[in-house]
Amino acid sequence: MNTTTLPRPSALTSKTSHADLSGLLTGVRTAVAARGDWSGTAQLVADQLRLHLPAPDVLSAEQRLGSPDSYRSHTLHVEPDGSFSVIALVWQPDQVTRIHDHVTWCVFGVIQGIEHEELFDENLNLLGMSDNHVGEVSGFAPPGDIHRVHNTGATTAISIHIYGTDVTRIGSSVRRYYD
């Protein structure tokens, strides 16, 4: 298996003003404060995202358009102590990530469209696939978090991702890309 450690090459990032996320942020703070292992924390955070999944208007109309070049990343919140970040990803049809894993736990919920996810083992054997629709939330933690995400729908997809670190400080949630 060939791996490289690189920042996400084409996903543009912007800070954004956003709708009230206070319920979600309070819930995530509580989940993180429980100080469980990464898998346990991911599940607690997923429970909070299910309860407080925002609507697409968490982004401006312009931000919801995305970019024809690559999926777009919009930072919604970074916890001051660096314990988590909330990021919105906007995907136009047929945009796809490379196969990758993460530096920490990750939770995501779809708020518009469909995101197709493929999960892989450490030898890049396909373990499973799922189509994540509006309202669906999932979470995982390393090891066992190797995946690829693809907007297979005919319209723009938007998802909320919560990572267990300050991704603006480290540059990306990606630990490795697999070639």
Please name the amino acid found at residue 149: V
- 3-state helix vs strand vs coil in the chain, percent to 5: 20, 35, 45
pLDDT of residue 175: 66
Quick one: pLDDT at residue 94?
94
Which pLDDT tens digit goes with each residue over 68-93? 998 899 999 999 999 999 999 999 99
The answer to whether 93 and 154 are in contact (CB under 8 A) is yes
Q: Output the pTM of the full model.
A: 0.84
DSSP symbol at 54: P
Residue-range domain boundaries for the chain: 8-178
In the chain (179 residues long), the average pLDDT of successive 10-residue segments reads 32 45 92 86 92 93 91 93 93 91 86 93 92 91 81 95 84 70
CA dihedral sign, ordered 119, 97, 31, 63: negative
Q: In what order do the strands lie in the sheet with 85-91?
A: 12-15, 72-78, 85-91, 157-163, 106-112, 137-140
The CATH fold assigned to 8-178 is Jelly Rolls (2.60.120)
pLDDT at 170: 67
Amino acid identity, position 92: Q
CA 14 – CA 60 distance, rounded (Å)? 12
